[in-house]
Amino acid sequence: MKKSILTLLILFVCAIQTTTAYEYFTIHFKDGTKSDAFYATDVDSICYSKLSLDSIASNDWQVQEIYTCDSIYRYPLVQIDSLSFKDVDENKVAENIANVSEVITPLFTESSSPIKLSERIAEIQNLNGVEDAYINNQTLYIKIRDWGYISFYFPIDDSDKDDDELNLAPLSQNMKVNMRRSNENEEHKYTEVLKACVVNQQFYDEERNSFKNIANQFKVSFESVGIKADIENMPLLDFFKDGMFDYDILFIKTHGNYDEKTDLHWLCTGEELWSYNPSEISVGDIAKLLNVKLPLWIKHGYSPRKVSFMCIKEKRGGDFLHIYYTTISDEFIRSAKRKFRNTGSAIVFNTACESMMRNNKMAKAFEERGAGCYLGYDDSNSVGGTAGKNLFAHLLVGKSTQSAYNAIPDWCKEQTIYEDEDGIIYDAPPSGKKYN
């Protein structure tokens, strides 16, 4: 048994030349060890410093510094032996991913849970082109040679069945307090109309239809209190890179996971790479198709630490399909060129599983892009839509962000998750039985 915990975070708010998309370099140390590889697209600058690791100034260069979008890496020069550079063969990476997916997708189809798939983990680790493979919570992660991780995700059952109308009261005069800049003492008075967007990445999944009603209710309710509202179904990569920053309120309904080995949080976009119907695909078809699509996709110019893909099962047209979706990490959000139009005031509610697991990096990424408040779950999530309805209903009648969060029912913020002997996860005890 585990808890699904909704967390609120109020946020207070020398360049290298770009080469090929996946050139990377490795630092080798004199003791024979080496650092993790750095992809050129992740590095902002490389320089020397006369300040030692102990912050002692010197007349000579002491440290090699590497600046990425979210971190600074410092290595003593006396320990460095050399740097090696490598151009990644995108076609070979695509071939490895295609061949691995050819094997994994049927295994994923046959497995009802991560536990069942874990019985094949040794076989997966030994596949050509695989550097590592492991299962964490509801996700199988596979490290592709000379590239990043791809994932195969088992979502928990969705419990967002609450279709009651929101019936929001007229906008309170305290709304300017709810939306004030969180790093200023004075209230921030808006001259433009506030804008909200409900993002539904699960629009085509017939087992998650209930959120369509919630999204429509939000649009009507927001506009009834003077907030312009849009619905963004199946958001593409460009929405998270550009379009979402046009809004003051974001309610994002999507899937997500956390990769503990890379310390990256991922959320699923609505951009499909490919869909797989087990009843229509023959042996060899997966690799054949992906070998055509993947090279162009891999050459889109993003580091595999920022953009990857996730396979997930969905019900469409009465059949269960496996959809390969493009995913983005907290580093992708952080590296966006734009910021929210009212910096320090935007509210982001993200239903993706594990977006605040272990740390607040996803929340901090949104903060750096101008958000003042981020809400997300640190483990599994089954009640995101209902919790979001409660939050915004309280916000729009005049409560502060903290008060609105406190007013969400506890069962929405800390949901007990049950798991049966086959590893299938439920949001309520199956058949009255509780599995610990």
pLDDT at 25 over 80: yes
Q: What would the mean pLDDT of 160-181 be, rounded to a whole number?
A: 39
Q: Which of 317, 178, 316 is nearest to 248 (CA)?
A: 178
**Which stretch of 10-19, 58-67, 324-333, 363-372 has the lowest confidence by average pLDDT?**
10-19
Closest CA to 270 of 352, 201, 350, 198: 201
Helix, strand, coil tally for the chain in percent (to 5): 30, 30, 40
Alpha carbon separation from 52 to 31, 49, 77, 428 (Å, rounded): 20, 8, 10, 55
CA gap 377, 258 in Å, rounded? 11
Q: Which two tokens stand for residue 187?
A: 């209230």
E strands, 225-351, are: 228-233, 249-253, 256-259, 264-276, 307-316, 319-329, 346-350
Mean pLDDT of the region 99-112:
87
* pLDDT reported for residue 10: 64
Comma-separated ranges of CATH 2.30.30 domains in the chain: 23-87
CA distance 206 to 317: 8
Residue 20 has pLDDT above 60, yes or no: no
Give the rounded percent of residues in the chain with a pLDDT score beyond 70. 81
Q: Which of 12-16, 105-109, 181-185, 292-296 has the highest mean pLDDT?
A: 105-109
Q: Where do we find the tokens 């995913």?
A: 327
Neighbouring C-alpha atoms within 13 Å toward the C-beta of 65: 16
Q: What is the rounded CA–CA span in Å between residue 218 and residue 224?
A: 10
Class of CATH domain 23-87: mainly beta
> In angstroms, rounded to a whole number, what is the distance separating the alpha carbons of residues 357 and 342?
27
pLDDT at 290: 83
Q: Phi-psi category of 29—alpha, beta or left, where left has phi over 0 and alpha has psi -120 to 50?
A: beta
Inform me whether the pLDDT recorded for 228 exceeds 60.
Answer: yes
Is 331:264 a contact under the CB 8 Å cutoff?
yes
By DSSP bridging, strand 63-68 and strand 43-49 are antiparallel
CA–CA dist 249, 349 (Å, integer): 8
Instruction: Provide the pLDDT for residue 272.
Output: 93
Cβ–Cβ under 8 Å, residues 393 and 386: no
Phi, psi of 303 (to 5 degrees): -65, 145
